[in-house]
Chains A and B, each alone.
Chain A
Amino acid sequence: MTVLQNDRRTTGTDPDAVDVELAVSGDAAAFERLYHRHVNRVHGLARWLLGEDDLDDALQDVFIRVWEKLHTFKGQSAFATWLHRLATNVILRRREVRRTHEVRSSGPAAALERAAAGRTSPGLGIDLEAAVDALPEKAREVFVLHDVVGYKHEEIADQLGISAGTSRSQLHHARMALRQYFEV
């Protein structure tokens, strides 16, 4: 008899853990709460990795996938970590299929200069978001995957089809471009 087994433990005080458990049982309101708590960050990731085109469709894809895979979340990491990795996979796969990613810059060097020169107010989030947006594609992807999502260079290398050394180098160049926004 397996009826009384599978008594998964969650803490009583983590709203994500509670809502994940309720959502897995089919509670739409719990899933909507999860969505509203995390949609902004997923939207930011998607915008940086995909651009503005099809952004709504991409977000929809991500959260449908989350719904389908929610039962596989076992709580070994924070829900946000699990979600961001799943979202990244969906977004990158979508981009592979689409293969019409807009070329945003005339060249890596020019884009790095533009990202560094676009500063208006030190430390202002909106300026930094625009600066990340203006980075060359590969530098932007590596920066987002490493510093925002938390992937290791070896994982990024697998995801993007580059070497770990290239990932390190791109990350450094992205950070150097963005450092202009911060006073010491």
Chain B
Amino acid sequence: MTDSWTERLSDYLDDELTLGERAALDAHLAGCATCRDDLARLGRVRSWAAGYEGSAPRTDPWPGIRRALGRREPQADTVPLAARRRRRTVRLGAPLALAASLVFATVSGVTWWVARATAPARTAPTADAMAVRAAASVTLHAAESYGVAIGELERALVDRPERLDSTTVRVLREKLASIDAAIAEALDALAQDPASGYLADHFADLMRRKLSLLRNVASTASFES
């Protein structure tokens, strides 16, 4: 059954009526069970659509996508997958060797800390502790991803060095020293309090900053070389 108001129910639901129209429809709804029923169902349709999770493809197209990406030229700062390591072949010279060793130590530290912080507790955890651990594990996953990427990038910088200008190297050394000190401090703090969400966020942020710094240097160096 429909009436003259039925056509306006979707607009009402989406808050697209004028104040006057809305007030009139409110008055109608107060006395019309059919429209109230329809309105409730329309709302459920909208909620279902907003939360729609999709359906899996019959065949996974990823292998084809992966192959296509390998052939694709980059746009702006994207890099073809097959050329990742080639683009990062830069020469920074000896001063960065020390920084590289610090990175390897940091990555190892991350891996150790992730394992420690997410390891099953010896006693049954409380609900709060489980929630903290779940949240922390997401952050830790991020930090670990950063650590792996940093290690890869640093190896590329050290293994096949090109020349950057001395100012860049000096600034980079200062920045790396500052970030590495902060990372070491964060690792120490996390060793004392492995379940701290704040420290986990702080640590992940430091790792992200270091990755961003190295990536920018590598990218610039590849254009300069």
* Interface residues of A, Cβ cutoff 8 Å to B: 1-8, 10-13, 15, 18-19, 21-22, 24-28, 30-32, 35-36, 39-45, 47, 55-56, 59-60, 63-64, 67-72, 123, 125, 128-129, 143-144, 147-148, 150, 153, 168-169, 171-172, 175-176, 178-182, 184
Contacts and interface: CB of A to CB of B under 8 A. Distances in A.
For the complex of A and B, the 10 pairs showing the least CB-CB separation, nearest first, are A12-B204, A40-B54, A41-B54, A147-B49, A44-B54, A179-B41, A26-B79, A172-B10, A26-B84, A182-B44
Contact of B78 (A10, A67, A148): A67
A24 B78 contact: yes
Interface in B175-225: 175, 200-201, 203-205, 208-209, 211-213, 215-217, 220
B56 A43 contact: yes
With most chain A CB atoms within 10 A of its CB, the pick from B16, B65, B139 is B65
A148 to B, nearest CB: 5
With most chain A CB atoms within 10 A of its CB, the pick from B9, B54, B205 is B54
B149 A22 contact: yes
Interface string B2-16: 000011011100001
A4 B44 contact: no
Nearest to A150: B50
Nearest to A177: B45
Contacts of A28: 66, 69, 81, 84
Contacts of B153: 25
Contacts of A179: 38, 41-42, 44-45
B142 A148 contact: no
Contacts of B68: 60, 64
Contacts of B75: 68-69, 71
Nearest to A148: B49
Interface stretch (B18-26, B96-104, B119-127, B166-174): B166-174
B87 A172 contact: no
Contacts, number: 185
Nearest to A2: B220
Given A60-B68, A67-B69, 19 more contacts: A12-B139, A12-B142, A12-B205, A15-B141, A18-B142, A18-B146, A26-B81, A35-B62, A39-B56, A40-B54, A45-B54, A64-B68, A68-B72, A72-B76, A168-B11, A179-B38, A179-B44, A179-B45, A182-B48
24 contacts: A1-B168, A3-B216, A4-B171, A13-B135, A13-B142, A13-B201, A13-B204, A15-B138, A15-B141, A25-B215, A28-B66, A28-B81, A28-B84, A32-B62, A56-B61, A60-B61, A64-B72, A67-B78, A69-B75, A71-B77, A147-B46, A148-B50, A175-B42, A184-B37
Contact of A41 (B53, B62, B142, B143): B53
B31 interface: no
Interface string B49-63: 110111111011110
A56 B64 CA distance: 9
B135 to A, nearest CB: 7
Nearest to A43: B57
B93 to A, nearest CB: 15
A1 B171 contact: yes
Contacts of A22: 145-146, 149
Interface in B132-168: 135, 138-139, 141-143, 145-146, 149, 153, 167-168
Given A26-B87, A28-B66, A143-B49, A42 B201 contact: no
Contact of A39 (B57, B77, B78, B84): B57
